[in-house]
Structure formats: structure tokens, C-alpha cells
């Protein structure tokens, strides 16, 4: 049964079905976006090899750093390092972090697609001490 409003528009089961389908499509799109954000760290891991380290975060952000550009590496607690404007802190929830001090500045993604120079990169890792062993100039973690 379809009724006609005074303005001539029809409403009824067809309109309700269309709105229900539209609402479900919006809900599915939102669920897919939430799942993509939640798995971005697992799907796009940091990689080390071929003379470079590639750090990835979010859905599309990444920075590639030649290993020869790293001057010094150290381990810090997640909140031990106080970032400055010349630092990049890669998003993450791990308790320890690998701090990469660079010889020269490297351009990294900033907001709105811009690039900015950084000289220190803080990378939260589950086992930063093990990752620190890769570089011979690394500072071993402090014993508590």
C-alpha cells in the first residue's frame, strides 16, 4: 500500500526499504573503516633490510630511512623521550621505544600532506632492546 502526500511524493514500503538499505550500507562502510584502522599496524609492519628501515603507521603514512643516515640508536621508555619540533614520534602503544638519532635531517609526512624535516625518530616497539642490537653504535638500555 503506497500513499501519496499532498505534495505528490509517494511513501510507503519502497521508501522504507531504500532508507534501510542506505543505512545498512553506511554502517558497513563505517565498520570497514574501523577495521582498517585497527589492523593498519599489523598489515603494514615496520621493515628492516636492503640498507634501509621503513617505518609505517596509519593506513598510508610511511618514511624510508637509509641505515647509513642513522648516527646513533638508543632504547628509551615510551615516555622517557621528550619530543621536540625536530622529532617524529611514530604512533604506537608499546612500552619501550627505539630512538633513532640521524646524521642529517630526513623529510617525513606531516599533516595535510606536507613534509617536515626531523633529526630524531622515536619508534615504539614491543622489544626495542632486541631491535637496538642491529646497530653497532647503539646505546644499550639502562638497567633498572
Residues 15-44: pLDDT tens digits?
Answer: 666 677 787 888 878 887 777 666 655 566
User: Per-residue pLDDT for 49 more than 80?
Assistant: no
User: Per-residue pLDDT for 52 more than 70?
Assistant: yes
The residue extents of the domains of the chain are 8-40, 69-132
Q: Say what the pLDDT of residue 78 is.
A: 62
**CA atoms lying within 13 Å on the CB side of residue 17:** 4
What is the distance, to the nearest Å, from the Cα of residue 87 to the centroid of all Cα atoms in its chain? 16
Q: Say what the pLDDT of residue 79 is.
A: 66
- Which range has highest mean pLDDT (2-6, 10-14, 43-47, 115-119)? 115-119
Q: Which of 57-61, 72-76, 77-81, 88-92 has the least mean pLDDT?
A: 77-81
Cell of 48: 628492516
Strands 115-125 and 87-89 turn out to be: parallel
Q: Say what the pLDDT of residue 13 is.
A: 61
Residue pair 83/117 in contact (Cβ under 8 Å)? The answer is no
Q: Say what the pLDDT of residue 103 is.
A: 92
CA torsion angle 100 101 107 112 (round to 10): 60
Pairwise CA distance, residues 124 & 25, whole Å? 36
Q: What is the mean pLDDT of residues 55-63?
A: 82
- Classified as helix, coil or strand, 141 is coil
DSSP 46-103: -EEETTEEEEEETTTEEEEEEGGGEEEEEEEETTTS---TTEEE-----SEEEEEEEE
Q: Say what the pLDDT of residue 102 is.
A: 92
Element of type H or E holding 118: strand 115-125
The pTM for the full model equals 0.62
pLDDT in tens, 86-134: 888 887 778 888 888 999 888 888 878 788 899 998 888 888 888 777 6
Cell of 57: 603507521
Amino acid at each position: 500500500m503506497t500513499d501519496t502526500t499532498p505534495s505528490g511524493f509517494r511513501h510507503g514500503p519502497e521508501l522504507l526499504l531504500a532508507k534501510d538499505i542506505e543505512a545498512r550500507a553506511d554502517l558497513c562502510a563505517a565498520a570497514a573503516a574501523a577495521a582498517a584502522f585497527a589492523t593498519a599496524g599489523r598489515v603494514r609492519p615496520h621493515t628492516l633490510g636492503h640498507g634501509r628501515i621503513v617505518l609505517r603507521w596509519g593506513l598510508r603514512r610511511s618514511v624510508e630511512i637509509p641505515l647509513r643516515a642513522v648516527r646513533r640508536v638508543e632504547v628509551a621508555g615510551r615516555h622517557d623521550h621528550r619530543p621536540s619540533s625536530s622529532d617524529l614520534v611514530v604512533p604506537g602503544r608499546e612500552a619501550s621505544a627505539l630512538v633513532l638519532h640521524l646524521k642529517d635531517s630526513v623529510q617525513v609526512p606531516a599533516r595535510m600532506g606536507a613534509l617536515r624535516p626531523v633529526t630524531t625518530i622515536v619508534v615504539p616497539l614491543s622489544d626495542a632492546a632486541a631491535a637496538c642490537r642491529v646497530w653497532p653504535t647503539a646505546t644499550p638500555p639502562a638497567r633498572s
